[in-house]
């Protein structure tokens, strides 16, 4: 079994520089997928003109935004600077959305630093009257951080806003309903809660405990990506708040989870990242899914062919002799 991981790309600037020549996109460029109509753009989510170029005059019905959370590990700004930056990409998101649309925002709350940026972000959002606050979802992470002197931090926050009156479709978990005994008289007949329900499984509420956080042994793992969201979580959002053929946007692509979820569920996705390396990973993840039906690179990585070729050149006495390997 191969085991060929990439280092964490956010902290390994040397590796990011090494991968740049293998990236299709440079800053300001947009890749268009002719098979399903997706787009991947290399842009700054806060730059209005770049976002407009990517949108090309279209509007989306759903935005799933997962910005860096302003935690120390991910290059921290002052909380007020972070929020000012957020107002720019939220304004760009608002312009990119149809009059009836949904916005989901993943965020963190640093318990070692005044819980920023979550409460600051929530208050900032009140300055966008077109967005109504609808839900505050918590997804439980299986791994956490903390000390012996505090509760371990295992939560991942997800805010749900709506613009206008978009549709919402109730989602169900895989957890069977075990609790019986909620009886009610319906049209004179005494019914138990299981009989009244549309599903034998528990409905997804605003606390998600049934989704596994991505880790290196999972098929969907994209090594090198440090902040990948579980495909099941993104698919739940896409199913709840969009319809087939709708356009979905995500300005912080990273490992390309939203694009892949949209491809699998028959939606179009316009997604972007400021870093060409993550744009390339996003495109390759889509291509790999189409070619092999795989959702990630367990025991490999998105640049394994190029890195193996580089290693072969280094290890070959006659320069220029390279090992030919399949792209996937």
Ligand X SMILES: C[S@@+](CC[C@H](N)C(=O)[O-])C[C@H]1O[C@@H](n2cnc3c(N)ncnc32)[C@H](O)[C@@H]1O
Footprint of ligand X on this chain (CB under 6 A)? 44-46, 66-68, 225, 227-229, 251-252, 254-255, 257, 272-275, 278
Tokens of 255: 């490992």
Least separation in angstroms between residue 74's CB and ligand X is 8
Count CB neighbours of 28 within 10 A. Answer: 13
Angle, vertex CA 205, rays to CA 204 and CA 211, nearest 5:
55
Report CA-CA distances (Å) from 204 to 174, 201, 209, 232, 292.
9, 9, 9, 12, 31
Q: Which two tokens stand for residue 12?
A: 């390994």
Residue number with CB closer to ligand X (264 or 308): 264
Report the residue number, 88 or 309, with the smaller CB distance to ligand X. Answer: 88
Tell me the pairing of strands 131-145 and 97-107: unpaired
Residue closer to ligand X (CB basis): 208 or 278: 278
Q: Report in angstroms how near the CB of residue 45 gets to ligand X at its nearest.
A: 4
Report the DSSP pairing between strands 189-191 and 247-250. Answer: unpaired
Closest to ligand X by CB, 66 vs 120, is 66
Closest approach, Cβ 40 to ligand X, in A, equals 12
DSSP per-residue string spanning 184-196: EEETTEEE-HHHH
User: What's the closest the beta carbon of residue 63 comes to ligand X, in angstroms?
Assistant: 12
Supply the minimum distance, in Å, between the C-beta of residue 208 and ligand X.
15
């Amino acid at each position: 079994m191969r085991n060929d991981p990439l280092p964490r790309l956010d902290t390994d600037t040397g590796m990011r520089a090494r991968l740049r020549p293998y990236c299709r996109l440079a800053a300001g460029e947009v890749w268009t997928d002719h098979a399903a109509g997706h787009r991947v753009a290399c842009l700054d989510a806060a730059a209005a003109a770049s976002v407009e170029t990517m949108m090309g005059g279209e509007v989306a019905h759903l935005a799933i935004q997962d910005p860096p959370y302003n935690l120390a590990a991910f290059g921290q700004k002052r909380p007020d600077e972070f929020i000012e930056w957020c107002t720019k990409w939220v304004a760009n998101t608002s312009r990119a959305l149809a009059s009836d649309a949904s916005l989901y925002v993943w965020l963190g709350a640093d318990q070692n630093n005044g819980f920023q940026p979550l409460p600051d972000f929530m208050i900032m959002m009140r300055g966008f009257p077109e967005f109504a606050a609808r839900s505050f979802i918590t997804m439980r992470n299986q791994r956490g951080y903390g000390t012996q002197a505090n509760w371990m931090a295992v939560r991942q926050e997800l805010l749900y806003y709506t613009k206008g009156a978009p549709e919402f479709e109730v989602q169900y978990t895989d957890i069977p309903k075990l609790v019986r005994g909620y009886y009610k008289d319906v049209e004179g007949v005494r019914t138990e809660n299981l009989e009244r329900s549309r599903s034998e499984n528990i409905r997804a509420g605003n606390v998600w405990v049934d989704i596994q956080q991505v880790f290196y042994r999972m098929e969907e793992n994209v090594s090198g990506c440090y902040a990948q969201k579980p495909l099941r979580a993104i698919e739940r959002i896409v199913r709840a708040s969009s319809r087939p053929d709708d356009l979905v946007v995500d300005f912080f692509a990273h490992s390309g989870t939203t694009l892949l979820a949209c491809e699998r569920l028959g939606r179009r996705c316009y997604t972007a990242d400021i870093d060409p390396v993550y744009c390339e990973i996003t495109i390759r993840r889509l291509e790999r899914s189409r070619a092999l039906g795989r959702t990630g690179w367990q025991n490999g990585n998105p640049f394994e062919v190029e890195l193996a070729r580089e290693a072969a050149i280094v290890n070959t006495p006659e320069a220029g002799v390279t090992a030919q390997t399949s792209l996937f």
